[in-house]
Chains A and B, each alone.
Chain A
């Protein structure tokens, strides 16, 4: 009987342990918390959720909350809720004032920025031109780890990396006139939209009185970068439980007015869970835009759900088949383009929820030229080109396929089949994404499938120039360099449109890479939510303070 007593005791201990763990696990106190009080308040509905709480589904976790160093889209999206930017961009390349009341230039080289007089940080300190200047100085400081160097590199006094020259200790192109006014000067005249997007829309303004408490070199690894304590935008940071959720609450001092939805939870879930969470009401909306993505296979189910609003739009996400230009000449590359049936990929794998990538821009870009005709699927032409080029078709070509994106993996088989029909001898080699990217980056590949998120600004020097850091195709072409240079230095939108039309045509004819498809982005949200994702995803948050739930 002693055994029986021991077992009973053991069971009781285990019960006690489970209760203890459940009681102490998960709740406040164990996560990373900011200085704000995160107590939820408000009306609690029957299912325990609050009417003034917004639940957003993300499929990727944020890589920290450093306003100066955020390479991932999730962090950038959340930072937009926490830190002000000078301008808003409700539609692609259409700019509205945000922290800046006006952003004007007469000569395309000197930009006068006037800030709102009423703007305050969440701790009551005013947001002034000094904060803007200090932000730009931090980015330009060689000691500061930042992703925004290239964004400000056109300013006077800075190198092409966006850092100031040795010995300098400030940015010559930034002049603070008074508390509300500052003037930015560029090295040469530029397209105003370029500066408006790169600095006005992309750079988050940081609170000088907080940031200057840290050594510039230490900022990236400090709590400034992980647990923001002061906010200047719609929401304030409350806490982040790693890989699980981010909690925010309305910033009462926000200059456009306190947000209607007082609490926001951004939940990190996988694609399949995002679908069930949307269906069950566990999240009100998917973040969309490549960071809250529902699987293509579930699109029909979500579209048919009576409680959900579903729409799809062309976006800036693209998939390319990169071709190592050092190994294949233009005729062979063009033959590949003719051989691949991209219409079939879009139809079969995306059921129409994607577009064929005819050029290096998607139809969401204002620089996309619909008159540049697509290379059709034409196996005979592919064979002809291959024959003319004298390419040895017995040569085995490896197609590098990264895992983790189901549609891309499936497209690889169709591509392999298409290329075989034209006479190529292709085998697939599959790697996890990081390995595949590393191999492609180092040029250790022949052809490979990689997705690239494009920007509103049409400059793609980073992709197709010999000096570009993401020149995965190892493109080295004089005419291309010339067109990229012209596009970068041109100062009017009309002129740039002409240049980029020419670039699209040339890019297509040279087949530097095969543009496969641009996947549409989905707006999936609860019908009770008023607000949410816009057609131009990047500008979706411009009216977030007005979003409500019925």
Chain B
């Protein structure tokens, strides 16, 4: 197992390098010059040249890339073109914001989706199944910007019980309760999608499992229903569920863009949109790197978890 992990990590290094090269090319190929955004209308040619040199974009792409890579090895992600702040100083705040939202979303989604998916499979084609399937279709189909705005309208503007956005009340007493209140609406919006999606996976894999011979054998042996369900049923459903979770998590880093915008959640998604609009190359490269690392890490974790839940899988 240890050997396998080391091997996987070694494979990820060239993959990550290729990802950074690819992203660097794509980011730099985007039309438009960042200096256009950071100079005033009456700037002189000399000022423009000075700014290009200060931002480091006056050199050929390969040199820019190797400089970036050299800095990266030393733990330096450069500074943001827009704010001139070191990217490494801002990145942790953004990651914490996004991961907070992600963790609460996953918790709510899976806490609801796994039991609901099982119930739905157990009562296949009955009223409860139709209800759960119907509601989960609604959750997948409803556009999150619309759902988000509707929730803001009801809970923040009409009822006044929850804040409209942000991560905490600025200038207020703050605290855990205040932050939890800010987390509720964005979590509901994101969880509506992820929970519905997960319900469908759990339901489908449980229906397959209920039809397996070993389930019939367990029932024939006279085992208790809870033991059959948890010991034989759910245990065998873990592999497909882990696959979905491991792809959901990295997706959420990018998928929360709209929700973060609506609720002014100061996470990676919102930061990425402003960086794209501002052609803020160092910020975009840092976000791409985080996304690439998270995909690779969660894929590795998924592979390790397969072995943990299914003794037949060995590395």
User: Measuring CB to CB, which residues of chain A are less than 8 angstroms from any residue of chain B?
Assistant: 1-4, 7, 11, 14-15, 17-19, 21-27, 30-32, 40, 44, 48-50, 53, 55, 61-64, 66, 71-72, 145-147, 149-150, 160-163, 220-221, 225-226, 240-245, 247, 263, 265, 267-270, 272-273, 276-277, 279-280, 282, 404, 431-435, 437-439, 441, 452-453, 461-463, 468-470
Contact in complex: A470, B41 (CB < 8 Å): yes
Asked if A282 contacts B164 (CB within 8 A), the reply is yes
When the two chains form the complex, which single residue of B44, B97, B168, B234 contacts A3, counting CB atoms closer than 8 Å? B234
Are the CB atoms of B165 and A277 closer together than 8 Å? yes
Q: Assess the A146–B47 pair: CB atoms within 8 A.
A: yes
Residues B152 and A469 in contact, CB atoms below 8 Å apart: no
Contact A438–B54 (Cβ < 8 Å): no
Check: B156 CB closer than 8 A to any chain A CB: yes
Residues of chain B within 8 A of A263, CB atoms compared: 171
Cβ contact of B84, chosen from A21, A48, A221, A270, cutoff 8 A: A221
Residues of B within 8 A of A63 (CB): 38, 82-84
Q: How far is the CA of A265 from the CA of B168 in the complex (A)?
A: 13
Interchain nearest-CB distance for A160 vs B (Å): 8
Contact of A242 with B85 at beta-carbon distance under 8 Å, contacts A19-B176, A25-B97, A150-B44 already known? yes
Once A49-B172, A273-B164, A437-B36 are accepted as A-B contacts, the answer to whether A11 and B100 lie under 8 Å apart by CB is no
What would be 13 A-B contacts, judged by CB atoms less than 8 Å apart?
Answer: A21-B100, A25-B179, A27-B174, A63-B83, A66-B84, A145-B51, A161-B47, A226-B85, A242-B80, A244-B166, A276-B153, A280-B160, A441-B36
Which residue of B is nearest A277, CB measured?
A: B164
Q: Is B271 an interface residue (CB 8 A)?
A: yes
For chain B, residues 58 to 100, give those with C-beta under 8 angstroms from any C-beta of chain A.
79-80, 82-85, 89-90, 92-94, 96-97, 99-100
A282 touches B42 (CB 8 A): no
- Closest CB of chain B to A408's CB: distance in Å? 15
List the B residue with the shortest CB-CB distance to A71. Answer: B40
Report yes or no: A3 in contact with B46, Cβ–Cβ below 8 A. no
Known contacts A27-B174, A220-B84; A22/B79 CB under 8 A: no
Bitwise interface map of B from 27 to 48 toward A, beta carbon under 8 Å scored 1, else 0: 0001111101111111111111
Task: In the complex, identify which listed stretch (B8-16, B197-205, B259-267) lies at the interface while the others stay far away.
Answer: B259-267
The answer to whether B39 touches A273 (Cβ under 8 A) is no
Establish whether residues B32 and A21, one from each chain, have CB atoms under 8 Å apart when the complex forms. Answer: no
Contact A243 B176 (CB under 8 A): no
Q: How many Å lie between the Cα of A161 and that of B49 in the bound state?
A: 13
Contacts A40-B171, A242-B94 given: A15-B107 contact, CB under 8 Å?
yes
- Enumerate chain A residues within 8 angstroms of B111, measured Cβ to Cβ: 11
What are the residues of chain B within 8 A of A461 when measuring CB–CB?
42
| B36: A residues at CB distance < 8 A | 434, 437-438, 441
Q: Using CB atoms, name the residue of chain A closest to B156.
A: A280
Which B residues are CB-close (under 8 A) to A66?
Answer: 84
Whether A26 lies near B179 (C-beta < 8 A) is: yes
Q: What residue in chain A is nearest B105 (Cβ atoms)?
A: A18
A147 and B32 within 8 A (CB): no
Which single member of A4, A48, A435 contacts B31 (CB below 8 Å)? Answer: A435
Q: What residues of A have a CB within 8 angstroms of the CB of B45 in the complex?
A: 469
Interface of B is mostly: helix
Q: Are A71 and B38 CB-contacts (below 8 A) given A64-B84, A149-B47?
A: yes
Bound together, the chains give a CA A431 to CA B50 distance in angstroms of 27
Task: Kindly identify, within residues 234 to 279 of chain B, every residue whose CB is under 8 Å from any CB belonging to chain A.
Answer: 234-235, 238, 261-262, 264, 266, 270-271, 274, 277-279
Task: Give the interface size bracket for B toward A.
Answer: 35 or more
- Bound Cα distance from A270 to B183, whole angstroms: 19
Inter-chain contacts of A463 with B (CB < 8 A): 41
Question: Most B CB atoms within 10 A — which of A263, A270, A468?
Answer: A270
User: Once the chains are docked, how many angstroms separate the CA of A62 from the CA of B79?
Assistant: 15
Residues of B within 8 A of A226 (CB): 83-85
- Is B89 a contact partner of A32 (Cβ separation < 8 A)? yes
**Contact between B157 and A53 (Cβ–Cβ < 8 Å)?**
no
> Contacts A48-B178, A280-B157 given: A145-B54 contact, CB under 8 Å?
yes
Query: Is the Cβ of B83 less than 8 Å from the Cβ of A435?
Result: no
A247 neighbours in B (Cβ, 8 Å): 170-171
Is there contact, CB below 8 Å, between B93 and A241? yes
Do the beta carbons of B92 and A30 come within 8 Å of each other? yes
Contact A48 B169 (CB under 8 A): yes
Partner of B171, one of A30, A71, A265: A265
A492 to chain B, nearest CB (A): 23
Closest partner residue, chain A, to B187 (CB atom): A18
B85 touches A32 (CB 8 A): yes
> In the complex, are the beta carbons of A14 and B107 less than 8 A apart?
yes
- Write the nearest CB–CB distance from A420 to chain B, whole angstroms: 28
Q: CB distance B270 to A243 under 8 Å?
A: yes
List chain B residues, Cβ under 8 A from A160: 44
Docked CA distance A4–B231 (Å): 8
Most buried by B among A18, A23, A63, A463: A18
Please measure, in the bound complex, the distance between the C-alpha atom of A272 and the C-alpha atom of B36, giving whole angstroms: 27
B302 interface residue, CB < 8 Å from A? no
Q: List 9 A-B pairs, minimum CB-CB distance, nearest first.
A: A434-B32, A48-B172, A244-B266, A26-B167, A21-B100, A462-B42, A435-B31, A25-B96, A470-B41
Which residue from A21, A220, A240, A431 sits with its C-beta under 8 Å from B96? A21
Is the CB of B103 closer than 8 A to any CB of chain A?
Answer: yes
Q: Are A53's CB and B100's CB within 8 A?
A: no
Contacts of A44 in B (CB 8 A): 172-173
Give the Cβ gap from B45 to chain A, nearest Cβ, in Å.
Answer: 7
Contact in complex: A61, B264 (CB < 8 Å): no
Q: Are A64 and B83 closer than 8 Å at their CB atoms?
A: yes
